[in-house]
Each structure stands twice: as C-alpha cells, then as structure tokens.
C-alpha cells in the first residue's frame, strides 16, 4: 500500500540548535516530494519540493531536504532553529494526488 | 491581497443543521481542493476540481457537496451535520491540473458540531 510516514510525532529543540525531521515513503515509483509547514492557526505553506535532479534541495526560511532513493526518505533539516520555527511540519508525496504524512510538531525552547 | 480566502473562519452549529463554507482564489489557478484536518492534525483530501470539473472525490459521504461556479471559487455544502464532521476544513489551489504541483492553502475554517 502507498504511504508516507513521519516517525516523529513531536520534537523539542533548543533555539539555535539543529533540526532534522524524518519522512519515509512507500510507493511503487518515486513520487514528487514536498515539505509543508503549518504555523498555529494558519494554513499550510510550502517549504520546498523535489521533482528530480539534485537530491539536496533548498527551501524557504533556511530549510533544506535531502532525497535518498535507497532509503525512500526525504528528511528535512535546518542548521539553526529560531523560535518562529515552532510549528507543525508535514511531509507530502504526490503520485496522481497529494497525500500527507501525519505531521511532526516542533517545539522550540529558549 | 489574500491568495486563497475562506469564509467563515469559525463555525459552531448543532447536529442535523446544514452549513456552507466558501472559498475564493485570486491566483488564476485551474485546480482547487478541499482538505479535512481532524483533531490529530491528519490531513485528508476530500475533493478536487479542475476548471469547474470534479476530478477527485475521495470516499466522502454524500452529505458533503462541493460546488464550483467558476474556476476561482469552490464552495463546500454540508447537510445533516454530525459530530464527526467537526474539523478544520482547508481550501487550496494549484496551477497544475493533476495533483503534482505546489498547493496554496487558505487559513482554514474550523467547524464545531455540538
């Protein structure tokens, strides 16, 4: 069955520390891959996307993600987290339709 | 200018009532969507319209009826509301005709059924 998994439900990180959010997918072919962020009370905003080519993609707000075909993963990273990065993060995959993972809540402590 | 706008933002109603949520996008996109986000923040697509034509209908009860009067508008009407309909409903739009492109989301409409 096709699925997208975010293993971490909740991550707490200190301001200034690095952040990595995990995403794994299970599809017959390599889908298009996305990371979205949802700030409290807001809609979702696209952080970055991977269609093909360079497996390290840069996004907005200082985020990057790396596609690893052998691991069926598309992990999101940020070298130094700011308090405003506290939000819900969704990995999504598209193969004829867009399907979202269950999300990872990121809490930033001072 | 808000790219994707939904009204109302909050909706509190009794079981059995009928309610509508409206969505408008000013991005010139061809495709619009309704997503439902439950209390655990899980997002699930409900409907997708491309140029006023229904292209995705995901096993949603027929109490939910989307309507797209033109490609900039996609409304959601819900009949005979049930407790389980309580959720945040997001409208989104994209330029792509199939769901492979970037989606622009509205801020959501929080529906509470009492």
Q: Which residue has the tokens 């923040």?
A: B41
Which of A2, A43, A46, A49 to probe the B interface (max B CBs under 10 A)? A43
Strands (E), B14-63: 19-25, 31-37, 43-50, 53-57
Which of B38, B41, B59, B96 to probe the A interface (max A CBs under 10 A)? B41
Q: Which residue has the tokens 């598309």?
A: A74
Asked if residue B75 lies in contact with residue B22, where contact means CB atoms within 8 angstroms, the answer is yes
Summarize the confidence of residues A32-60 as an average pLDDT: 93
Counts of helices then strands in chain B (DSSP H, E): 0, 11
Note the pLDDT of residue B111: 97
Q: Which residues contact A84 (CB under 8 A, 6 or more apart)?
A: none
Residues of chain B that touch chain A, judged by Cβ-Cβ distance less than 8 Å = 4, 40-45, 48, 56, 90, 92, 98-103, 105-108
Greatest alpha-carbon pair distance for chain A in Å reads 42
Among B4, B56, B107, the residue with its CB nearest the CB of A97 is B56
Is the pLDDT at A31 greater than 90, yes or no?
Answer: no
Among A34, A45, A97, the residue with its CB nearest the CB of B45 is A97
Q: How far apart are CA B2 and CA B26, in angstroms?
A: 8
Q: How far apart are CA A60 and CA A58, in angstroms?
A: 7
Summarize the confidence of residues B11-16 as an average pLDDT: 97
Residues of chain A in contact with residue B49, where contact means CB-CB under 8 angstroms, are: none
pLDDT digits (tens, 9 = 90+) for A60-87: 999 999 999 999 999 999 999 999 999 9
Burial of residue A46, with CB atoms counted within 10 A of its CB: 0-12 exposed, 13-18 middle, 19 or more buried: middle
pLDDT digits (tens, 9 = 90+) for B46-99: 999 988 888 878 878 999 999 999 999 999 999 999 999 999 999 999 987 555
Cβ–Cβ of B99/A34 closer than 8 Å?
no
Q: How far apart are CA A33 and CA B101, in angstroms?
A: 10
Residues of chain B in contact with residue A99, where contact means CB-CB under 8 angstroms, are: 45
């Amino acid at each position: 069955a096709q699925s997208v998994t975010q293993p971490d439900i909740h991550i707490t990180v200190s301001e200034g520390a690095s952040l990595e959010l995990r995403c794994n997918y299970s599809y017959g072919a390599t889908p298009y891959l996305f990371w979205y962020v949802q700030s409290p009370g807001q809609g979702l905003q696209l952080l970055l996307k991977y269609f093909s080519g360079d497996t390290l993609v840069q996004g907005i707000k200082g985020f990057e993600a790396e596609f690893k075909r052998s691991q069926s993963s598309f992990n999101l990273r940020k070298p130094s987290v700011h308090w405003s990065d506290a939000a819900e993060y969704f990995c999504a995959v598209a193969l004829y339709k867009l399907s979202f993972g269950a999300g990872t809540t990121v809490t930033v402590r001072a | 200018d808000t790219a994707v706008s939904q009204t109302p933002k909050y909706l509190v109603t009794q079981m059995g009532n009928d309610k509508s949520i409206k969505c408008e996008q000013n991005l010139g996109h061809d495709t619009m969507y309704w997503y439902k986000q439950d209390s655990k923040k899980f997002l699930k697509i409900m409907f997708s319209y491309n140029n006023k034509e229904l292209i995705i209908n995901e096993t949603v009860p027929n109490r939910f009826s989307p309507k797209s009067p033109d490609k900039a508008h996609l409304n959601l009407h819900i009949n005979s509301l049930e407790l389980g309909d309580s959720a945040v409903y997001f409208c989104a739009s994209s330029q792509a005709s199939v769901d492979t492109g970037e989606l622009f989301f509205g801020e959501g409409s929080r529906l509470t059924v009492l």
